[in-house]
């Protein structure tokens, strides 16, 4: 096996920051056991459940055609089968990262079998889509808007790139390059090509990955084409609907805002529509902005970022409150108990935020990435890696639990591939700068300013704010080391080789330029204290409430630690919050705070008597760990009083 080194990429970074590839980072600390759970349990389980759902039968041309095994969705034009290639793609990607973590011949053989089936399915011209080749032949490229055709291609490409990084095997990558070539022959500005683009964005960012790993500029060009064409007039999706004999206005979701094709992307200023589609698109836009140094995308990306983070983001880093469109509604609409906040949306936000770091280190993006990662994304999977949240409410009356599987199984492999590849989010590497975005025990091997460099983080982060970084360049080398100071830190201290440094953060990063020697050691101490957070008065359901946080973690209270009803407790602003250990959650840090608990003398539904009050205390655990113990109520936004 011949694993590619250094971002796994043939195109080398210049002033752009790119992530490392998964095989460059050995993850320990907080994420180590989580990666292990994916590697030893979840990766196989995803394969089992995909096959149980009959996905392989749809892919493998040598197996009997299963036909439509899940009914067409009510009133919609899609079946879950239409996006099965994406679920398989994400499951292969997860398996690839699992194999990178821990060789497993059986799992690798299973993945190879599926890849082999895709190889046999692939059409002469490179086309590859199990739905259109096996279930609805003859209809390819007729409904980009609704039927996930290009979306599926993207996830298979991401799977292929990951499998190449993890195993060095090129077969799947070659298959997907042939398909990408087919797509390139089909879509483009030439008169004989279609000027369409993905109904569900995803292929854009996947093509950037493919371009980086293969060194083929044309894949980056194709990604840029899809970004550039999106939403132009006359609208491709409308024209395509007419060509099918459909009325554009009969679109199930009424408006093309649903798929962010309502206007050209450079004119977009507000996050609208389906949340995952949105964040995948913006991630692809950010990738294109980075790779092409295309500043014309910046006003849109900046405005979209502000619109999300200033008006539409849950404190957990989830977004998209509504089940109806799996997405956005109106500004400040952030209901808690009915929050949709799909796991995939938080995962997609991590993708988007990480790509906003392609131009320069800027903690505005990293802080949100970290919040989404540690809360709204991580909550999507159970501690044992076997059950999954699709929607992530911030309040539960005891009836919300992780699924074993979902009819639309997008979230399980999405959170799994994120965790299993988490090391790729730790760093951003430019030609002569290395940014440390996320802190976690790990070692990484990179090449910076032409010199091989080993880097090691020693830390109990995020349980503790102290991080020690040791550098081992092959030879002394000058480059900038950028260390993030998270927005939540109440202060910090920095030492370089034992000497205090007074350097000030630039956009939230301590950018240290010097000639680094082998054994150089940086000690960063981030002041991590529990904090009480208050919501903007325009967020109606959070008024009279506060959230407890510590470091990157948002906390919640659960019925198993606190007698229900949880909404009976009131915390006084400024009450001291102390640290504790959570029960049955591998010793995670819990928070304790004194409170008042209200009650009524009778069980009447409504009463003219104000509640009685008694002293009580609350114990809170990190939000991502909820619903791993006895089922019951859960609450993030706790009642407060002045």
* Contact pick of 269, 407, 513, 538 for a second copy (by CB under 8 A): 538
CA-nearest of 205, 163, 145, 156 to 182 is 156
Determine, following the binding rule CB under 8 A, whether residue 642 of this chain makes contact with a second copy.
Answer: yes
Residue (75 or 498) nearer to a second copy, CB: 75
Told to check if 603 binds a second copy by CB under 8 A, we report yes
Name the strand (E) or helix (H) holding 172: helix 171-186
The nearer residue to a second copy, 106 or 603, going by C-beta atoms, is: 603
Query: Among residues 143, 128, 227, which one has the least CA distance to residue 180?
Result: 128
CB nearer to a second copy: give 43 or 638.
Answer: 638
Which of residues 172 and 390 has its CB atom nearest to a second copy in the complex?
390
Shortest Cβ distance from residue 394 to a second copy (Å)?
12
Q: How far is the CB of 626 from a second copy (least distance, A)?
A: 16
The site that binds a second copy (CB under 8 A) totals a number of residues, namely 58
Which range, of 7-15, 261-269, 516-524, 528-536, touches a second copy by CB under 8 A?
528-536
Over the Cα atoms of the chain, what is R_g? 25
The answer to whether 544 contacts a second copy (rule: CB under 8 A) is yes
Name every residue whose Cβ is closer than 8 Å to that of residue 365 and which is 6 or more positions away in sequence.
Answer: 305, 353, 354, 356, 357
Q: Which of 210, 279, 281, 547 binds a second copy (CB under 8 A)?
A: 547
Per DSSP, 561 falls in state: T
Interacting residues of 367 by C-beta distance below 8 A, sequence separation 6+: 486, 487, 488, 508
Residue 234, interface with a second copy (CB under 8 A)?
no
Based on the shown chain and the rule CB under 8 A, indicate whether residue 338 belongs to the binding site for a second copy.
Answer: yes
Scanning 351-359, 424-432, 436-444, 534-542 for contacts with a second copy by CB under 8 A, the matching segment is 534-542
Asked if 411 and 392 count as a contact pair (C-beta separation under 8 A), the reply is no
Which secondary-structure segment (H or E) carries 411?
helix 411-420
CB-nearer residue toward a second copy: 101 or 371: 371
By CB under 8 A, residue 333 contacts a second copy = yes
* Contact between 246 and a second copy per CB under 8 A: no
Binding to a second copy (CB under 8 A): which residues in 379-408? 395, 397, 399
Task: Please pick, from the candidates 567, 580, 584, 592, the single residue that binds a second copy as defined by CB under 8 A.
Answer: 567
User: Using the rule CB under 8 A, is 255 a contact of a second copy?
Assistant: no
Q: Which is nearer to a second copy, 259 or 566 (CB)?
A: 566
- Region of residue 143 (phi > 0: left; psi between -120 and 50: alpha; otherwise: beta): beta
Q: What is the DSSP letter of 517?
A: -
Shortest distance, position 300 Cβ to a second copy, whole Å: 20
Q: 566 and 633 in contact (C-beta within 8 Å)?
A: yes
Q: Which is nearer to a second copy, 124 or 606 (CB)?
A: 606
Given the complex with a second copy, which of 503 and 614 has the nearer CB atom? 614
CB of residue 373 to a second copy, shortest distance in Å:
17
Considering the rule CB under 8 A, would residue 137 count as an interface residue with a second copy? no
Q: Which of 138, 608 has the CB closer to a second copy?
A: 608
Interface characters, 66-105, with a second copy (x: CB under 8 A): -------xxxx-----------------------------
Among 598, 616, 617, 629, binds a second copy (CB under 8 A): 598
Site track 290-329 with a second copy (rule: CB under 8 A), x = hit: -------------------xxx-x-x--------------
Positions marked active-site: 326, 410
| Residue 604 C-beta: closest distance to a second copy, Å | 7
Residue written as token pair 């680094």: 516
d(CA 45, CA 595): 42
Per CB under 8 A, does 552 bind a second copy?
no
Is residue 245 part of the contact set for a second copy (CB under 8 A)?
no
CA distance linking residue 404 with residue 382, whole number of Å? 10
| Residues 640 and 573: beta-carbon distance below 8 Å | yes
The reply to whether 568 sits near a second copy by the rule CB under 8 A is: yes
- Nearest-CA neighbor of 300 among 329, 308, 292? 308
Say whether residue 607 binds a second copy (CB under 8 A). Answer: yes
| Residue among 113, 267, 384, 573 that touches a second copy (CB under 8 A) | 573
Q: How far, CA to CA in Å, does 204 sit from each of 9, 179, 198, 279, 325?
A: 17, 14, 8, 12, 22
Nearest to 337 by CA among 548, 583, 598, 566: 566
Least separation in angstroms between residue 363's CB and a second copy is 15
What pairs with residue 525 in β-bridges? 466, 493
Query: Angle at Cα 506 formed by Cα 504 and Cα 508, nearest 5°?
Result: 95
Q: Is 565 in the site for a second copy (CB under 8 A)?
A: yes
Interface segment toward a second copy; rule CB under 8 A; list 125-133, 426-434, 470-478, 533-541 = 533-541
Q: Does 533 bind a second copy (CB under 8 A)?
A: yes
Is 605 one of the binding residues for a second copy (CB under 8 A)? yes
- Cα 293 from Cα 17, distance rounded (Å): 11
Least distance from a second copy to the Cβ atom of residue 103, Å: 44
Q: Does 574 bind a second copy (CB under 8 A)?
A: yes
Burial class (CB in 10 A: 0-12, 13-18, 19+), 439: buried
Measured CA to CA, the distance from residue 553 to residue 78 in angstroms comes to: 37
* Sign of the dihedral through C-alpha 370, 376, 379, 385: negative
User: Any contact of residue 589 with a second copy (CB under 8 A)?
Assistant: no
- Among 565, 562, 555, which Cα is nearest to 617's? 562
| CA–CA separation, 346 and 486 (whole Å) | 19
Q: Is 534 in the site for a second copy (CB under 8 A)?
A: yes
Contact 288, 204 (CB under 8 A): yes
| Least distance CB 216 / a second copy (angstroms) | 41
Note the maximum CA span of the chain.
78
Phi, psi of 277 (to 5 degrees): -55, -45
Q: How wide is the angle at C-alpha 380 spanned by C-alphas 213 and 159, nearest 5°? A: 20
Taking the least distance from each CB to a second copy, the nearer of 415 and 489 is 489
As a whole number of angstroms, the distance between CA 526 and CA 537 comes to 30
Residue 77 beta carbon to a second copy: minimum distance, rounded to whole angstroms: 11
Beta-carbon count within 10 A of 331 CB: 14
What is the C-alpha separation between 130 and 367, in angstroms, rounded?
39
Judge whether 87 and 54 are in contact, CB under 8 Å.
Answer: no
- Nearer Cβ to a second copy (446/547): 547
Q: Does 537 bind a second copy (CB under 8 A)?
A: yes
The residue ranges that bind a second copy (CB under 8 A) are 73-76, 309-311, 313, 315, 330, 332-333, 335, 337-338, 395, 397, 399, 531-541, 543-545, 547, 565-568, 570, 573-574, 598-600, 603-611, 613, 633, 639-642
């Amino acid at each position: 096996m011949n694993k590619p080194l250094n971002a796994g990429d043939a195109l080398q970074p210049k002033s752009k920051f790119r992530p490392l590839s998964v095989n460059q980072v050995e993850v320990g600390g907080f994420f180590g056991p989580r990666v292990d759970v994916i590697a030893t349990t979840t990766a196989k389980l995803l394969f089992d459940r995909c096959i149980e759902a009959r996905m392989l039968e749809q892919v493998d041309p040598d197996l009997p055609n299963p036909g439509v095994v899940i009914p067409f969705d009510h009133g919609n034009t899609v079946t879950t089968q239409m996006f099965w290639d994406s679920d398989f793609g994400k499951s292969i990607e997860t398996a690839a990262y699992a194999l990178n973590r821990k060789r497993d011949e059986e799992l690798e053989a299973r993945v190879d079998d599926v890849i082999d089936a895709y190889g046999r399915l692939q059409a002469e011209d490179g086309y590859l889509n199990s739905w259109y080749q096996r279930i609805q032949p003859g209809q390819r490229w007729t409904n980009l808007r609704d039927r996930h055709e290009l979306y599926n291609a993207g996830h298979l490409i991401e799977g292929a790139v990951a499998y190449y990084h993890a195993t060095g095997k090129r077969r799947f990558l070659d298959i997907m390059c042939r398909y990408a070539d087919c797509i390139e022959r089909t879509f483009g500005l030439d008169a004989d090509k279609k000027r369409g683009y993905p109904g569900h964005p995803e292929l854009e960012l996947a093509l950037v990955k493919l371009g980086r790993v293969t060194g083929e500029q044309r894949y980056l060009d194709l990604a840029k084409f899809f970004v550039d064409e999106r939403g132009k007039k006359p609208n491709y999706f409308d024209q395509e609907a007419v060509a099918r004999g459909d009325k554009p206005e009969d679109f199930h979701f009424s408006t093309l805002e649903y798929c962010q094709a309502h206007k050209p992307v450079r004119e977009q200023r507000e996050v609208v529509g389906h949340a995952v589609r949105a964040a995948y698109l913006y991630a692809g836009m950010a990738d294109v902005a980075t790779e092409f140094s295309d500043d014309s995308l910046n006003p849109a990306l900046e405005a979209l970022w502000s619109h999300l983070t200033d008006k539409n983001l849950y404190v957990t880093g989830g977004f998209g409150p509504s089940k109806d469109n799996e997405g956005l509604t109106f500004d400040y609409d952030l209901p808690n108990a009915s929050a949709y906040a799909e796991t995939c949306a938080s995962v997609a936000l991590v993708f988007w935020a990480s790509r906003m770091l392609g131009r320069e280190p800027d903690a505005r993006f990293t802080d949100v990435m970290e919040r989404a990662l540690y809360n709204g994304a991580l909550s999507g999977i159970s501690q044992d890696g076997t059950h999954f949240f699709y929607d992530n409410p911030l309040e539960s009356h005891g009836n919300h639990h992780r699924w074993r599987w979902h009819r639309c199984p997008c979230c399980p492999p999405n959170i799994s591939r994120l965790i299993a590849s988490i090391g790729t989010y730790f760093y951003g590497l430019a030609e002569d700068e290395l940014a440390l975005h996320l802190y976690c025990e790990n070692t990484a091997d990179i090449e910076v300013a032409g010199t091989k460099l080993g880097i090691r983080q020693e830390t109990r982060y995020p349980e503790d704010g102290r991080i020690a970084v040791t550098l081992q360049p092959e030879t002394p080398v000058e480059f900038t080391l950028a260390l993030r100071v998270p927005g939540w830190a109440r202060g910090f201290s920095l030492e370089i080789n034992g000497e205090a440094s007074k350097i000030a953060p630039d956009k939230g990063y301590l950018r240290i330029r010097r000639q680094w020697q082998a054994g150089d050691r940086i000690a960063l101490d981030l002041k991590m204290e529990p904090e009480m957070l208050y919501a903007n008065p325009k967020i109606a359901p959070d008024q009279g409430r506060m959230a407890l946080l510590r470091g990157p973690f948002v906390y919640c209270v659960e019925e198993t630690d606190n007698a229900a009803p949880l909404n009976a407790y009131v915390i006084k602003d400024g009450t001291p919050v102390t640290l504790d250990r959570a029960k049955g959650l591998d010793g995670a840090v819990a928070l304790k705070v004194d409170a008042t608990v209200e009650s009524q003398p009778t069980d009447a539904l409504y009463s003219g008597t104000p509640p009685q009050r008694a002293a009580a205390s609350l114990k809170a655990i990190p939000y991502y760990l909820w619903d791993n113990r006895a089922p019951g109520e859960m609450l993030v936004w706790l009642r407060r009083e002045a």
